Amino acid sequence: MGGNEVLPKASFGKALSYMVKSYVGPGCLSLPLAFKHAGWGLGLGILVFILVAVARNLVCIVLCKRHYEAQGVQSYADLALVTLGPGGRRLVDALVNGAQLGICAIYFDFVGENLHALLPASWGAWSSTYACMIYAFPVYGALGLLPSVKAIAPYTGLANFLIISTIAIVVGFAL
């Protein structure tokens, strides 16, 4: 993908899969493949082990937060600061930011693929999926710089309207 290669337009099924990926997330969509390669026994065993470990860790984090609330702990980073010191705070900040970057990376792919499908093939490399990802970056960057959740509200309202409109159009054409 990339260069001067012209990619085929997305089919209805592929467009639907991108929509599902954007809502569900890449991790959940990978579970069937993981089960296929691991087998039901091992896959289910690992899944249950991870579920129990994550649930236990979440309970521990909540208990620690309640224990340290008097010291002003309100976030993961604050909790890491009082329990692990400044290095722990930096580590937690880096891990949370890395996780968010990984989760949000699918949106660059999603928007790039969909913009690519809309742009004329005569644009050549300027309409490639990677170029479309770069076109979307200033929008994501500007939204990421908004100071609060309240400032994002009008944009999320617009996004919800556009999503519902798109779903209605797709369902209308499907019927």
pLDDT in tens, 132-160: 888 888 888 888 788 877 787 888 788 88
Do 156 and 90 sit in the same domain of this protein? no
- Look at residue 21 in the predicted model and tell me its pLDDT: 56
Q: Is residue 4 domain-resident?
A: no
Residue 161 or 140, more confident: 161
Pairwise CA distance, residues 84 & 48, whole Å: 29
Residue 11: band (very low, low, confident or very high) from pLDDT cuts 50, 70, 90: low
By three-state DSSP, how is residue 75 classified?
coil
- Look at residue 23 in the predicted model and tell me its pLDDT: 55
Pairwise CA distance, residues 31 & 40, whole Å: 11
- Look at residue 169 in the predicted model and tell me its pLDDT: 92
Domain count of the fold of the chain:
2
Residue 35 or 2, more confident: 35
Do 93 and 168 sit in the same domain of this protein? no
Q: Is residue 89 domain-resident?
A: yes
Do 103 and 76 sit in the same domain of this protein? yes
Do 166 and 134 sit in the same domain of this protein? no
Q: Helix H segments across the chain?
A: 12-24, 26-38, 40-67, 76-84, 86-118, 129-144, 149-174
- Look at residue 20 in the predicted model and tell me its pLDDT: 59
Do 111 and 39 sit in the same domain of this protein? yes
Distances (CA, A) of 122 to 101, 118, 127, 129, 133: 32, 12, 8, 14, 18
- Look at residue 49 in the predicted model and tell me its pLDDT: 92
Boundaries of domain holding 157: 147-175
Do 168 and 107 sit in the same domain of this protein? no
C-beta pairs of 11-16 under 8 Å, 24+ apart in sequence: 12/174, 15/114, 15/117, 15/170, 16/170
Distances (CA, A) of 121 to 115, 116, 128: 12, 9, 9
**Residue 57 one-letter amino acid:** N
Looking at residues 69-92, what average pLDDT do you find? 88
Q: Is residue 107 domain-resident?
A: yes
What pLDDT digit, counting tens, does each position of 90-126 carry?
A: 999 898 888 777 777 777 777 888 888 888 888 888 8
Do 140 and 77 sit in the same domain of this protein? yes
What pLDDT digit, counting tens, does each position of 164-173 carry?
A: 898 899 889 8
**Residue 41 one-letter amino acid:** G
